């Protein structure tokens, strides 16, 4: 019984490693090799909203009269 449980755990760890390696080895976007006719433009990374404080003053309406 103990031997079967140990073999099951080893098989489970091996299967986990295979799935992780398969997930990490997926197709990646083509890198810039210089063969393209137009140069790639760099853009700022998208804001995921995971951290930092938002500027609440930009959300307030302008109530001053002119």
User: DSSP readout, 5-66?
Assistant: HHHHHHHHHHHHHHHHHHHHTS--PPP--S-SSSPPPP-PPPP---SS---GGGTS------
pLDDT band at 64 (very low <50, low <70, confident <90, very high): confident
Mean pLDDT for the chain? 75
Does residue 40 contact residue 32 with C-beta atoms inside 8 Å? yes
How far is it, in rounded angstroms, from Cα 34 to Cα 37? 8
pLDDT band at 25 (very low <50, low <70, confident <90, very high): confident
pLDDT band at 56 (very low <50, low <70, confident <90, very high): low
Q: Record the pTM.
A: 0.38
């Amino acid at each position: 019984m103990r031997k079967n449980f140990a073999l099951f755990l080893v098989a489970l760890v091996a299967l986990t490693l295979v799935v992780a390696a398969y997930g990490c080895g997926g197709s990646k976007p083509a890198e810039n090799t210089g063969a393209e006719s137009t140069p790639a433009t760099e853009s700022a990374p998208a804001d995921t909203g995971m951290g930092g404080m938002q500027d609440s003053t930009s959300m307030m309406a302008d109530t001053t009269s002119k």
